[in-house]
Structure 1
Amino acid sequence: MKKSFAYLLLFTISAVQAPAQQSSGGGEQKQRSEDASEVKEEATGAKSTAEQLASGPNAPVDPKSFQLGPEDVLMVRVWNQPQISGVVSVRPDGKIGLPLIGEIEAKGTTPHELTQKVTEALSTYYKDPLVMITVQAVRSRKYYVTGQIAKGGMFPLVTPTTVLQAISIAGGPTEWADLKKITILRNGKVLKFNYKDAIKGKNLDQNILLEGGDHIIVP
């Protein structure tokens, strides 16, 4: 009788624990699924940014935080002064040249700060000049994606971009790519990236933000 009661008690405990374990496993699967969905949304957002870069007249930069550098292309507009307005590029020495006011240091300044500089310089010649400076193309900060990728090449680093987003912007890996052995070259260092893990929401700490000059290689 005691043995029968012990067996019955053991069976009852096992029956209670089994659904709990299944529920826990289901929770982990749900969390992984949610992580993977977030990663896919991130990649989709990256494609939208790329489309903006391709179709918009101005690069989508924050005029109060983006720092200009050599080769960046700017549109300078001065109200009612077409002889001063126009497209200029930041020279290798970090300066731009404008009619009437000459050279102005642009490297390291934001579009907002440069607008203030040009406005101040023009105030010597015009009363209350209205100046607007926008970035047409970002060429000072860029990254590269090469190898088994649909549309490899050089890309402007306009907004914060992760490795996964960069691969998505480049059209995604080809069917022959070794998705577990992607590397990022950064200042002489080699960083590893497992694409299969990333799209499943695993090891997301490897999905780092890119820096100017980074080179992603998809073998």
Structure 2
Amino acid sequence: MNTRSVSCFLAACVCAMAPVHAQNGEIALKANNRITISIGGIPDNEVPQISKVYTISDNGTVNLLHIGEVRAAGLKPSSLQRTIEQTYIAREIYTRPTVTVTTDDNATTARMIYVVGGIKGNGQVPYNSSMTVLKAISAAGGFTPFAKPSKTKLIRNGVTTEINLKDISADPSRDIQLQPEDQIIVPD
């Protein structure tokens, strides 16, 4: 294989892996989430000053040694990792830092799905990464006798989509994966 072929092969591998990374289930961080930041590739005496658990402030930032406030809310953990690394490099503080950001398990379970209308247990359902519309409705107690599941609405980021849960019940592979803060409204 010549150099050009090797370069093309490597580029193809990177492109093939990109969609997998984009669909890895990372959830955007928000204020008051607890995250763990670990750093390597820096002087040993500074590692403990940076590598620790942080709570994202109400204004959406974390305060890090030498660089101060870094926006975290709205970013996925992998994006925050890159932001921190690039900031340390751009400000010429560290030459090759390696940062890892992980979320505290309680941070993701504290996120909610809201299920209202023709549901026995209207209200909040704790979000988890495998949550679907049917699972959320089941967790909320199921439909009332007067529910109209064929006219269910899913509201995500201000966008309303009407879904027919009778069709999804008949073919569970069509069930919709939920995201934190989604709202499900089942008319009755």
TM-score per shorter chain, which class? 0.5 to 0.7
Give me the whole-angstrom Cα distance separating, in 2, the residues matched to 1:192 and 1:117.
38
Distance 1:164-1:217 versus aligned 2 partners, 3 A rule = same
Match of residue 70, structure 1, among 6, 28, 31: 31
Instruction: Give the letter for the 1:100 counterpart.
Output: H
What CA RMSD, in Å, does the superposition of the two structures yield over aligned residues? 4.1
Distance 2:79 2:159 in 1: 34
Query: For the Cα contact (< 8 Å) 1:101–1:121, is it kept in 2?
Result: yes
| Amino acid aligned to 1:111 | P
8 Å Cα contact 2:60-2:71 kept in structure 1: yes
SS class of match (1:91): coil
SS of corresponding position for 2:36: strand
Residue of structure 2 in register with 1:153 after alignment: 124
Match of 1:87, SS state, is: strand
Could you say which residue in structure 2 is the equivalent of 1:178?
145
C-alpha separation in 2, matches of 1:115 and 1:157: 23
2:96 maps to 1:128:
yes
Q: 2-side partners of 1:125 and 1:91: how far apart?
A: 24
SS at match of 1:133: strand
State the alpha-carbon separation in 2 of the partners of residues 188 and 115 from structure 1. Answer: 30
After superposition, the Cα gap between the structure-2 partners of 1:140 and 1:105, relative to the gap in structure 1 and judged at 3 Å, is: farther
1:83 lines up with 2:49 in the alignment: yes
Letter in 2 for 1:155: P
**Cα offset, 1:209, TM superposition:** 4.7
Alignment of 1:103-114 (within 5 A): 103-114=69-80
The structure with more radius of gyration: 1
- Could you tell me how far apart the structure 1 residues matched to 2:69 and 2:78 are? 17
1:91-137 residue CA offsets vs partner (Å, 9 max, x unmatched):
34332222332111223433222212222344544453332111222
Please state whether the residue corresponding to 1:216 is helix, strand or coil.
strand
Partner of residue 19, structure 2: none
Partner of 1:47: none
Tell me if the contact between 2:112 and 2:127 (Cα under 8 Å) persists in the aligned partners. yes
Residues 184 and 217 in structure 1, CA contact (< 8 A), matched pair in contact too: yes
Structure 2 Cα separation of the partners of residues 189 and 108 of structure 1: 21
Structure 2: segments with no counterpart, 5+ residues = 1-22
Q: Which runs of 5+ in 1 are unaligned?
A: 1-60
C-alpha separation in 2, matches of 1:69 and 1:75: 14
User: Is residue 116 from structure 1 mapped to residue 82 from structure 2 by the alignment?
Assistant: yes
